[in-house]
């Protein structure tokens, strides 16, 4: 059974802390994504990676960075957490973007609260 | 940016009723996907529609892709409480590598 796993389901951090969100997929997919999901705003793309050590900014990259040292692992980093980064964070992977209709596999999400 | 507009944003119905939700865009898409997200979980793919005018059925769910490939609909017959969730339409692929989703329709089916 293919899977995308995320390191934590719930996380509470304080303003100013450095936060790491980890995502691992076991499908040998080249492409991985980080989204945040907020009520009324839908899914918004933060960053994506199409290969090891390769990354591109999504629609809302400010305040975030990412790391892809191994194909199966994609990390989202909040350098200095702020309260407006309280959200649900979803990781996803897909095998071939250009095919246009390959399934995106999502992790269960991490609900981050920044106090 | 190729936006996907979903309607309605919220829908609350009684068990056994039928419903339709919509996904529209001003741009033509090569394909469209529908996902369902249950509370506390990530979205899961229901179906991909590729051909204009295409209709796909998944048990009580019927998906249609518009002839012009700018719109899609999801019809649920005899809704059940287990259908409760957030229904998202989305597209993947294209030259700019960005993935686009609508904001979703939050469906609640009351027993």
Q: Give tens-digit pLDDT for B35-85.
A: 999 988 999 999 988 888 999 999 999 999 998 888 999 999 999 999 999
Residue B32 is predicted with a pLDDT of 87
Residue B90 contacts residue B100 (beta carbons within 8 Å): yes
**Contact yes or no for A106 and B44 at CB 8 A:** yes
**Contact yes or no for A90 and B102 at CB 8 A:** no
Using the predicted structure, report yes or no on whether residue B107 has a pLDDT greater than 60.
yes
Residue B26: band (very low, low, confident or very high) from pLDDT cuts 50, 70, 90: confident
CA A112 to chain centre: 12
How far is A24 from A75, CA to CA, in rounded Å?
9
SS3 sequence, B64-98? EECCCCCEEEEEECCCCHHHCEEEEEEECCCCCCC
pLDDT less than 50: residues of chain A: none
Using the predicted structure, report yes or no on whether residue B20 has a pLDDT greater than 70.
yes
Residue B2 is predicted with a pLDDT of 56
How far is B66 from B68, CA to CA, in rounded Å?
5
Name which of B23, B32, B43, B54 to mutate to probe chain A: the one with the most chain A Cβ atoms within 10 A of its Cβ: B43
How far is A84 from A105, CA to CA, in rounded Å?
26
Encoding tokens for residue B106?
A: 């939050």
Of residues B93 and B31, the one with the higher pLDDT is: B31
Residues of B with Cβ-Cβ distance to A54 under 8 angstroms: none
Question: Mean pLDDT over residues B98-108, rounded?
Answer: 88
* Chain B CB within 8 Å of residue A8 CB: no
**A 10-29 near B (Cβ less than 8 A):** none
| Dihedral over Cα of A72, B92, A41, B84: its sign | negative
**Contact yes or no for A97 and B90 at CB 8 A:** no
For residue A86, the 8-state DSSP code is -
Residue A104 is predicted with a pLDDT of 83
């Amino acid at each position: 059974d293919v899977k995308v796993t995320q390191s934590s389901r719930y996380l509470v951090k304080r303003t100013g802390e450095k936060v790491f969100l980890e995502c691992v997929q076991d499908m040998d997919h080249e492409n991985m994504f980080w989204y945040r999901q907020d009520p009324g705003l839908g899914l918004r793309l933060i960053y994506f990676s199409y290969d090891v050590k390769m990354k591109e900014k999504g629609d809302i990259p400010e305040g975030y960075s990412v790391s892809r040292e191994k194909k199966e692992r994609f990390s989202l980093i909040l350098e200095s957490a702020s309260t407006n980064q309280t959200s649900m964070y979803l990781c996803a992977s897909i095998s071939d973007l250009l095919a246009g209709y390959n399934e995106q596999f999502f992790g269960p999400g991490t609900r981050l609260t920044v106090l | 940016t190729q936006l996907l507009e979903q309607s309605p944003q919220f829908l609350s119905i009684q068990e056994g009723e039928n419903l339709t939700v919509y996904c529209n865009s001003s741009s033509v898409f090569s394909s469209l996907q529908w996902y369902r997200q249950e509370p506390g979980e990530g979205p899961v793919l229901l179906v991909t529609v590729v051909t204009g005018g295409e209709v796909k059925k998944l048990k009580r769910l019927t998906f249609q892709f518009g002839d012009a490939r700018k719109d899609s609909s999801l019809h649920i017959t005899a809704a059940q409480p287990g259908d409760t969730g957030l229904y998202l339409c989305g597209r993947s692929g294209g030259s700019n590598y960005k993935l686009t989703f609508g904001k979703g329709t939050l469906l609640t089916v009351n027993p």
